[in-house]
Amino acid sequence: MEMKPTLVSWRVTIAACAIVLGLAATEAGSVLAQTPEERATARDVIKKKGDAVVMITATLKIRANVGGTEQTTDQQAQANGTVLDSSGLTVLSLSTLQPDDMMARSLSFRVQPGTRVDVSSEPSGIRMHLGDGREIAARLVLRDTDLDLAFIRPVERVSPAVNALDMTAGKPSILDLLFIVQRTSETSGWSTAAAFGVVQLVIDKPRLYYQIAMPTVGGSALGSPVFDASGRFVGVMVMRSTGSRGPAVTAVLPAEEIRDIAKQAQ
């Protein structure tokens, strides 16, 4: 007799998906040695723009239909977001607010081949924990499933204005040195963290992405900004879809493309 997954097993699967989603960005690889000048540049960016990296929290209502049996559960989500302008418009990886594809793939491995699996999710109670300690309500204003982008904005005007990444965009080449800036969770005091890494691969078709090797805090870097050794804003970590050829992988989507999409959220 075929055993159908129970609600408990589905919740375990959902939790496992969250872990996989985070660990997908943990490849450290070999990191080039940094000069004192490069470390000084990175510290200067962190000092001036570290507050532009915020922690986003939300409740995800997840509905999973496996072989005609539907279950619903709530899951708490935490993810980094990158503030793009002083109004508080923030970009993050859509996969952290809408992990439908990853959960559907994970559930499909747990049931008989050919079993229909549908997963949908919707975030609510979105909040932004700012670098200065303020916590404000936010709303989802735009999502792009192809680029794995979600844009949120504070529900009310924020005063004083939020620090934002308004610097020049950088365009690194293979083996160039980069660094990433993250906001940690409450367990480590909502602190700013950073690490150096290198460009392993430049993907230019069908659109530009940077594949990088870089250690991250807590195993998750999605939504975090990446900078080059001169302190220019390179882009944000997202999940790059590989279509039917395999599961999505983490990569850096260039800052210029993110800013172009962000214009639709104005």
Domain with residues 7-265, CATH architecture: Beta Barrel (2.40)
Q: Is the pLDDT of residue 22 over 50?
A: no
- Both structure tokens of 11: 């919740």
CA 35 and chain centroid, separation:
29
Beta bridge partners, 193, equal: 182
For tokens 């210029």, the residue is 256
Angle at 128 between CA 122 and CA 133, to 5 degrees: 155
pLDDT in tens, 209-224: 999 999 988 767 999 9
Q: Is the pLDDT of residue 233 over 80?
A: yes
Tell me which residue of 259, 24, 18, 14 sits closest to 144, measured CA to CA: 259
DSSP, residue by residue, 224-246: -EEEETTS-EEEEEEEEP-GGGS
Number of residues in the chain: 266
Can you give the pLDDT at residue 107? Answer: 72
DSSP letter at 51? G
Q: Please tell me the distance from the alpha carbon of residue 213 to that of residue 140, in angstroms, as a whole number.
A: 30
Q: For 26-44, b where at least 16 C-beta lie within 10 A, e where not — what string?
A: ebeeebeeeeeebeebbee
- Taking all residues of the chain, what is their mean pLDDT, rounded to a whole number? 86
pLDDT in tens, 152-208: 999 999 999 999 999 999 999 999 999 999 999 988 999 999 999 999 999 998 899
Residues near 9 by Cβ (< 8 Å), separated by ≥ 6? 110
The answer to whether 58 and 127 are in contact (CB under 8 A) is yes
Expressed in percent and rounded to 5, the helix, strand and coil fractions of the chain are: 25, 40, 35
